[in-house]
Homo-oligomer: A and B are copies of this chain.
Amino acid sequence: MKYADLSTAELQSLHESISSHYDQFKAAGLKLDLTRGKPSKEQLDLSNALDGILEGFYLLQDGTDVRNYGGILGIPEARALGADILGLAPDEVLVGGNSSLTLMYQYIDLMQNHAGNSWHREAKAANGRVKFLCPVPGYDRHYTICEQFNIEMITVAMTEAGPDMAEVESLVSSDPLIKGIWCVPRYSNPTGYTYSDETVSRLSKLPIIAGDNFRIMWDNAYAVHHLADEPDELSNLMALARKQSTQDSVVMLASTSKITFAGAGIAFLGASVQNLAIFEQFLSGSIIGFDKVNQLRHVRFLKDSEALAAHMAKHQAIIRPKFDLVLAKLESALGGTGIAEWTTPRGGYFISLDTLPGLASEVVRLADEAGVKLTPAGATFPYGMDPLDRNIRIAPTFPSLDQLRQALEVFVVCIQLASVNKLLSR
C-alpha cells in the first residue's frame, strides 16, 4: 500500500488510526533511547576478564615495565594487534589511549597547525580556507573536529560502493585547499555500506591529484564488527597506496571501544613509518606515553586474530537479533508504503533511514514527545544540516530486545503520522 497513491478519504481514515495509536504511546510515559552507538551491558560483560588478567606480570619480552613512564608508540605486542586489525605492519601502528577520536583530532591538529608546511599556512597564503570532503550521511564527530579547526566541510554523496568517486575526484582537482576526506570504509556510519574495491583503488590514487599534504582519514571503526556470516571484504588501502607512492597520505584509525569496553579500550593510529615518526614527535609535547598497562591487558585478552574473531562472534550473537528485529519491524510497518527507505547493514552499529523529504526533524520531535529519543535530525550531516531533512540514524545495540521492540513501535508510527500529515496537506 503506497501512501502516495491513497485518496484523501483513505489518508484521513489512516490518520485517525495512526493518531490514536500515537496518543496511546504518548500516554504510556515511555523512556527509551535509540541515539548513540553504545554496546549493551551483555556485550560489555564479554570482556570482564580484562580486569585482573595481568596477575602481577607487567614485564614485556623486551624488558619494558608497562607500569612505568614512556613509549609513545605503544607496546610492541599491542602494535602487532593493531596491525592485524588494520592490515598494516606493526611498525606502522601507534597504540594510544582509550579514544581513536582523540588520535584523529591530534592528527588533524598536527596537519592544520603544527606541521612544517601546515594546512593553515597554505590556506592563509592562498587567502582561503582549508576544506575537507565529507561523504554524507556520515559520522557527526568527524564534523565536530573540522568545526573545531575551522575546516570547511564539503559534502559528497555516499553510495553503496562508498563515496561518489567521480564527484570526489572532480572536487579535489578543482581546489587545492581540499586537504582531506573522512572515510568509514567498512560498515560505514550510519549506512553500513562497505567501500568497493574500485572505490578503494581510486582513493589510493587521489593524493596524486590532491597533492602530498592531502590526507585520507580512514576511520576503520568497525573493521571486525560483522553482522553477516560472510564478512564484507575491504581492499587494503595502504597496500594500494604504497604502489602509488601515496602511502604518506593514508591515516588509519581503529579501536577496541566496540570490542572490549567502550570507555576503556585502546585506540590505534596507522600510518607510514615516516608519517608516524612525525606524529610521535608532535605528541611528545603533550604526553610521555599512553596507558601501557591497559594495552597489555588487551593483548593478553584478545590474543590474536583467531581469538579476536571468536570474541567478535559473541558480540554478533548478541546484536544480530536486534538488527533483525529493527529490519523486520521496518519492513512490516513501512515496506511498500513509499514513505521510508533504509539500509540493511552487514556489519557495524547503525541502520540509516530516510523519510520523505522534510520529515526527519518532525519524526524525531514526535518520537521525543512519545518518550523515544532519536539521534537529532541532521546529525549525520556537517553543521547538523541535512538539506533534505530526511536522514535518521538508528542505533539498535544498547537497548534490550524488549525496549527495542517498544521503541520501534513508536518510531514507525511517528514516521507514518508525519508522512500522512504531509500527504494530507498537499
What is the CA–CA distance of A97 and B102 in the complex, to the nearest angstrom?
12
Q: Is A264 an interface residue (CB 8 A)?
A: yes
Sort chain A's interface into a size bin.
35 or more
Residue of B with least CB distance to A109:
B109
> 1/0 contact trace for A20-46 toward B, CB 8 Å?
000000000000000010110100100
Does A58 reach chain B (CB closer than 8 Å)?
Answer: yes
In the complex, per-residue mask of A256-298: 1 if CB is within 8 Å of any chain B CB, else 0: 0100011110000000000000000000111111111110010
Instruction: Tell me if A286 and B114 are in contact (CB < 8 A).
Output: no
- Whether the Cβ atoms of A264 and B67 lie closer than 8 Å is yes
Is the beta-carbon distance between A51 and B48 smaller than 8 angstroms? Answer: no
Task: List, in ascending order, chain B residues with CB within 8 A of A70's CB.
Answer: 263
CA A58 – CA B44 in complex, angstroms? Answer: 10
Q: How far is the CA of A41 from the CA of B51 in the complex (A)?
A: 21
Check B291–A263 contact: CB distance below 8 A: yes
**How far is B98's CA from A71's CA once the two chains are assembled, in angstroms?**
13
Q: How far is the CA of A109 from the CA of B282 in the complex (A)?
A: 14
Given the complex of chains A and B, what is the CA–CA distance between A102 and B147 in angstroms? 21
- Known A101-B286, A290-B98; contact A263-B69, beta-carbon cutoff 8 A: yes
Q: Which residues of B contact A67 (CB under 8 A)?
A: 44, 47, 261-264
**Known: A48-B56, A52-B51. Is A99-B287 also a contact (CB below 8 A)?**
yes
Partner of A288, one of B39, B54, B99, B261: B99
Write the chain B residue with the least CB distance to A114. Answer: B148
Q: Is A13 in the interface zone, CB < 8 Å from B? A: no
* Contacting residues, chain B, for A148 (C-beta < 8 A): 114, 285-286
Set of chain B residues within 8 Å of A51, measured between Cβ atoms? 51-56, 293, 297
Give chain B residues whose Cβ lies under 8 Å from the Cβ of A41.
65
**Chain A interface helix/strand/loop/mixed:** loop
Determine if A417 is an interface residue (Cβ-Cβ < 8 Å): no
> Which listed residue (B54, B97, B114) contacts A98, Cβ 8 A?
B97
Most B-side CB within 10 Å, residue of A53, A56, A262: A262
Smallest beta-carbon distance A318→chain B, Å: 14
List the B side residues contacting A71 at CB < 8 Å.
263
Closest Cβ of chain B: how far from A84's Cβ, in Å? 23
A144 within 8 A of B: yes
Kindly identify which residue among B52, B68, B262 contacts A263, using a CB–CB cutoff of 8 Å.
Answer: B68
- The residue in chain B whose Cβ has the minimal distance to the Cβ of A66 is B263
Contacts of A52 in B (CB 8 A): 51-52, 54-55
A266 to chain B, nearest CB (A): 10
Q: Does A156 contact B (CB under 8 A)?
A: no
* Contact partners of A297 in chain B: CB under 8 A: 51
Collect the chain B residues with CB atoms within 8 Å of residue A257's CB.
69
The smallest beta-carbon distance between A32 and chain B, in angstroms, is 16
Within 62-109 of A, Cβ neighbours of B (below 8 Å) are at: 65-71, 97-99, 101-102, 105-106, 109
A332 interface residue (CB < 8 Å to B): no
Counting chain B CB atoms within 10 Å of each CB, which of A39, A66, A67, A289 scores highest?
A: A67
Q: Nearest Cβ in chain B — how far from A68, in angstroms?
A: 5
Q: Is A353 an interface residue (CB 8 A)?
A: no
Task: Return A94 CB to nearest CB of chain B, in Å.
Answer: 15
Most chain B CB neighbours (cut-off 10 Å) among A44, A52, A263, A293: A263
Tell yes or no: A421 within 8 A of B by CB: no
Residue in B54, B147, B288 whose beta carbon sits within 8 Å of that of A101 in the complex: B288
A113 at the interface (CB under 8 A from B): yes
CB contacts (< 8 Å) of A39 on chain B: these are: 68
What are 19 of the A-B contact pairs (CB < 8 Å)? A38-B69, A41-B65, A48-B56, A51-B52, A51-B293, A51-B297, A68-B261, A68-B262, A69-B262, A70-B263, A97-B97, A99-B288, A141-B288, A147-B285, A148-B285, A261-B293, A263-B292, A264-B294, A291-B294
Q: Which 3 A-B pairs have the closest CB atoms?
A: A52-B52, A105-B286, A264-B293
